[in-house]
Chain A
Amino acid sequence: MGSFLDADLRLSRGTFELHAALGAERGEILALLGPNGAGKSTALRALAGLVPLEAGHVRVGGRDETTTPVEQRPIGMVFQDYLLFPHMSALENVAFGPRCQGADRAQARERAAGLLEHLGLAEHAVARPGRLSGGQAQRVALARALAVQPRLLLLDEPMAALDASTRVEVRARLRHWLEGFDGTTVLVTHDPLDAMVLADRIAVVEEGRVVQQGTPAEVARRPRTAYVARLVGLNLFHGTAEGTTVTLDAQGEAETVEVRLPAPAEGPALVAFPPRAVALYSEPPHGSPRNVWQVRVDGVERFGDQVRVHLAGPPDLAADVSPAAVAELGLVRGQAVWAGVKAAEVECYGA
């Protein structure tokens, strides 16, 4: 038996091919994280039945829904720009689903009113969508999707249409509201923070494939692709481990680079360490088991209260140093520096 949500999505659109196996348990929130055009929204639409599969299956709670028409699937969906029906009030929008499922007018309105109240929108029930703020509209859309009592809740970039300040607040509340939901939630986002905060599991989608699946902590600590590494802010390298040394895959004609590890490993491996673990020196440092490479400054930018220094190698990497250190070293583009990383800060895992 597979998970509560057990989907194998295969379809092609022109040159784009989606081939994604997704699974999540009841009560879990699965985030599909990936860059624009990776196919995560297509995957969501395939789960909803809005685009047909060419092969594969969609099972929810043990029932095969692969060929079920959209309107009969046990789903609720929140669209990126919410798509609240502009000619209906918030209440009518939420009551729409129950009405379609056969509830009479009074029942539908009652359920809708209850949901709106639960989401703190009771006073906006009669408002047309045009009069709602972004955050309110999102909540109405969520209420509308929940009103059909779905077993699979699909959220397509729920934060994308919100401004930055609303986002912080909504993110926290969304997590709270979704906790009460007893089905599986699938959330599409390109924002790692959304995925980290909201999801129990993350599936990273790139070019139509799931390249990594795991808990937010796993994904954050052990990214598997350059895209994820960039999202979670790690330096990531591919290489081959032998004992406590990883030989990084050569980039073009450049000389090979070795990374020393805190513990032995074997075979193809990924090596990751955070930019703040990188120290910069104007002279080669001595003592302590460090990885030290001579690199060149490629660029400098402000990053929070630190300064991020992009370094051209091999290996190419980023270092976060204090503004004071920048001043002390007098970093300018093209300048040669030494970069050091303690072996203990290096995370190595199988490729």
Chain B
Amino acid sequence: MTAVPPTPPAAPERRRLRARSGRLPWVLVLPAVAAVAFLVLPFAGLLISAPWPDMGERLRDPEVLSALWLSLATATAATVVSLLLGVPLAWLLARTEFPGRRLVRALVTVPLVIPPVVGGVALLLVLGRNGILGTHLDAWFGITVPFTTAAVVMAQVFVAMPFLVISVEGSLRGADRRYEEAAATLGASRTTVFTRVTLPMVLPGIAAGAVLCWARALGEFGATITFAGNFPGTTQTMPLAVYMAMQRDPEAAVVLSLVLLLVSLAVLVTLRERWVNA
């Protein structure tokens, strides 16, 4: 029992390396497969039944092209606006204490819950020609917002920005705040800490939020058609064009949906490649 020379720890490292990772748990795999099937099969349905020969012709249709272009441009503009406004808001929610913070946080998520059409009406009531603010905008500056491309962007920001705010707030909360402390001990002001340390460190979260926001803006329909109306070239985005096509020719609507889908996928994949390779 006395001075037995301690046996050197038997290389557990190696054994761990050799160990087979256990069998995949079916309780997780089966629901996961079901989830994928549920999400992918409708797609597959679209792809299979789409009138592919028409696709090229549709893509050359100037009205489709203008709707597609308008969609991409407005969704991108809405994402930029959401980033400029939403990231500071997320920071405020995640990093500061102020009276009513919880309430603000709850209000931010309201657009996620209310039907977009209601959101559109709400925007009209505020920014419309006879809206609370809109009246003054019209009287003082001669600006009317509804039925303009700006209104499309606003409607998209309204429904899509919460996705960004929530996503960025989450990653800010998850970020290691000690890096910010380290920056402060090096003499960095709060602004510098935010731009040079916090922002770069939560960039993946911001990117994820921006993608979510962009995708939501791209698919936005209800608030847009209510607040911005539907006019080819200025306010008719792809989802509106799809809806209109649906009224007369459901097959055309499917083709348009696929065009929107493929273009947005292409954009996302390209961006992803950029990030991964960067």
Check A-B contact in the complex, CB < 8 A: yes
Judge whether B179 and A100 touch: CB under 8 Å. no
Task: Give the interface centre of B179, B186, B201 by most chain A CB atoms within 10 Å.
Answer: B186
Asked if A286 is at the interface of the complex by the 8 Å CB criterion, the answer is no
* A85 partner residues in chain B, CB cutoff 8 A: 179, 182-183, 197, 200-201
- B6–A77 touching, CB < 8 Å: no
Give the distance in Å from the alpha carbon of A77 to the alpha carbon of B181 in the complex.
Answer: 10
Specify the chain A residue showing the minimal Cβ separation from B200.
A87
Binary flags per residue of A90-119, CB closer than 8 Å to B gives 1, else 0:
000000110011000000000000000000
Contact status B184-A71, CB under 8 Å:
yes
Structural contact, B3 and A96, CB atoms closer than 8 A: no
CB distance from A305 to the nearest CB of B (A): 10
Q: Is the CB of A100 within 8 A of B186?
A: yes
Q: Residue-by-residue, is B1-22 near A (CB-CB < 8 Å gives 1, otherwise 0)?
A: 1111110000000000000000
Instruction: Count how many pairs of residues, one from A and one from B, have CB atoms less than 8 Å apart in the complex.
Output: 73
Chain A residues lying within 8 Å of B197, measured Cβ to Cβ, are: 85
* A302 at the B interface (CB under 8 A): yes
A302 to B178, CA, bound (A): 41
Bound CA–CA A75/B181 (angstroms): 12
Any B CB within 8 A of the CB of A162: no
User: Is B179 a contact partner of A83 (Cβ separation < 8 A)?
Assistant: yes
Q: Is B196 in contact with A96, judged by CB distance below 8 angstroms?
A: yes
Instruction: Please tell me if the beta carbons of B186 and A83 are within 8 angstroms of each other in the complex.
Output: no
Q: Which of B32-40, B187-195, B252-260, B266-274 contacts A (4 or more CB under 8 A)?
A: B187-195
Given contacts A87-B200, A96-B196, contact A144 B186 (CB under 8 A): yes
Contacting residues of chain B (144-199) with chain A, CB-CB under 8 angstroms? 176, 178-179, 181-189, 192, 196-197
The residue among A71, A79, A333 with the most chain B CB atoms within 10 A of its own CB is A71
Question: What residue in chain B is nearest A73 (Cβ atoms)?
Answer: B185
A332 to chain B, nearest CB (A): 7
Inside 8 A of B188's CB, which chain A residues have their CB? 71, 96, 100
Which B residues are CB-close (under 8 A) to A86?
201
Question: Please, which residue of chain B has its CB at the minimum distance from the CB of A96?
Answer: B186
Q: Is A211 an interface residue (CB 8 A)?
A: no
Residue of B with least CB distance to A48: B185
Q: Which B residues fall within an 8 A CB radius of A?
A: 1-6, 176, 178-179, 181-189, 192, 196-197, 200-201, 203
